[in-house]
Amino acid sequence: GAGVSQSPRYKVAKRGQDVALRCDPISGHVSLFWYQQALGQGPEFLTYFQNEAQLDKSGLPSDRFFAERPEGSVSTLKIQRTQQEDSAVYLCASSLARSGEKLFFGSGTQLSVL
C-alpha cells in the first residue's frame, strides 16, 4: 500500500476484554515500531521489530501487552484484560532501514476502555 495502514481506526472495549490491533507497514520496510500516545502527550515507545525479530520490548507497560510480527510484515499488538489506563492512541510506524532514521506513521488506533 501507499502508507502504513492500521485497523481498526477506533476500538471500544469493556474493561477486562482482550483486544488486537493490526498494523500493515509499507511493503518492504524492515523495521516496525509501536508507540502509545495518551491524550495530550507525545508518543511513547512500546516495542520494535526488525523483520520478524522483536529486538526491543522494553516499553511495553505490563505483561498484558504482547506484540508479534510472525512473517516480518503485518504486526499485531494484543492487549489482554484491558484496563482504563490502556485508553490511548496506538501508533504503528515502519522504516525502510534497520533503524528509525525516517519513520512512516500510520493514523493510529484509538482505544477507549470503558
Partner 1 sequence: AQSVTQPDIHITVSEGASLELRCNYSYGATPYLFWYVQSPGQGLQLLLKYFSGDTLVQGIKGFEAEFKRSQSSFNLRKPSVHWSDAAEYFCAVGPRNTGFQKLVFGTGTRLLVSP
Partners of 76 in the β-ladder: 22, 68
Measured CA to CA, the distance from residue 99 to residue 79 in angstroms comes to 26
54 grid coordinates: 522483536
Of 82 and 95, the one with the shorter C-beta distance to partner 1 is: 95
Of 15 and 112, the one with the shorter C-beta distance to partner 1 is: 112
Q: How far is the CB of 81 from partner 1 (least distance, A)?
A: 26
Considering only the C-alpha atoms of the chain, give the largest distance between any 2 of them, rounded to a whole number of Å. 38
DSSP string, 39-78: TTS--EEEEEEETTEEEE-TT--STTEEEE-TTSS-EEEE
92 grid coordinates: 504503528
Residues in 23-82 that interact with partner 1 by CB under 8 A: 31, 33, 35, 40-45, 48, 55-56, 58-59
Span near partner 1 by CB under 8 A; candidates 20-28, 67-75, 77-85, 92-100: 92-100
Span near partner 1 by CB under 8 A; candidates 12-20, 64-72, 73-81, 97-105: 97-105
Measured CA to CA, the distance from residue 111 to residue 34 in angstroms comes to 14
* Of the candidate residues 91, 109, 111, 113, the single one contacting partner 1 (CB under 8 A): 91
Applying CB under 8 A, which residues contact partner 1?
3-4, 31, 33, 35, 40-45, 48, 55-56, 58-59, 91, 93, 98-108
